[in-house]
Amino acid sequence: MHWIDPTCLLETKGVVDRFLINPHGDADGLLLKDGKEVHFPRHMSVAILAAVKPGDPIKVRGLRPRGVDMVIAVSIQAGEAPAIVDNGPAKKEGPHKGHDHKGDKPTKPEHHKHTDVQGVVKRVLHGPRGETRGALLEDGIIIWMPPHAAESLHEVLAPGGKLAARGVELTNALGTVVNAHEIGASLGALLPVESKKRDQAA
């Protein structure tokens, strides 16, 4: 949303609790101490991680999706430092949108394996349009899934609910995320995460 003037947007203030990462290990959001979720695009992550740390007070200007306690950031300011503004992806990404390039990733994966996890949901996590994309467990592990899979778990994906997953685990300096291939209320009741194309063709 590099075409939006952030100064015309409402400002949210808070203290950073932790960063959120996607299945590739990229930071694409954060949680504030008051529980509010902030999402930002991957191309802002290097600058944000260099300027912002857990415990820092920040100011966020962005859009707010309906029915979700989150902000889609257009700018993030740490203390009195200059605001980090969404000016769009760097030109070096060219036409290969979505591909990985050297220098894009702020953190290097340290651990990558297939795993089973289960725990209690601390909070539901969302994508850039406010869609449900997974959950943060009470032990700090993030379980990530596509929105269509999350829809089938609406009763489980709530604070206090029990959630289990089997998938690919990635751990780096920012935390641990599991890209779920199977999900359910327990390890004994896992169902495969079907691709959206296959669901639509059925």
All structural domains of the chain: 6-89 (2.40.50.1010), 111-201 (2.40.50.140)
What is the C-alpha separation between 92 and 88, in angstroms, rounded?
Answer: 11
Residue 17 has which token pair?
Answer: 């609790």
* pLDDT for residue 96: 44
**pLDDT value at position 1?**
63
pLDDT of residue 154: 76
Task: Please list the rounded mean pLDDT of every run of 10 residues in the chain (202 residues).
Answer: 85 97 95 97 95 97 94 95 92 49 48 90 94 96 92 84 96 96 93 67 39
Which token pair is 94? 């060219």
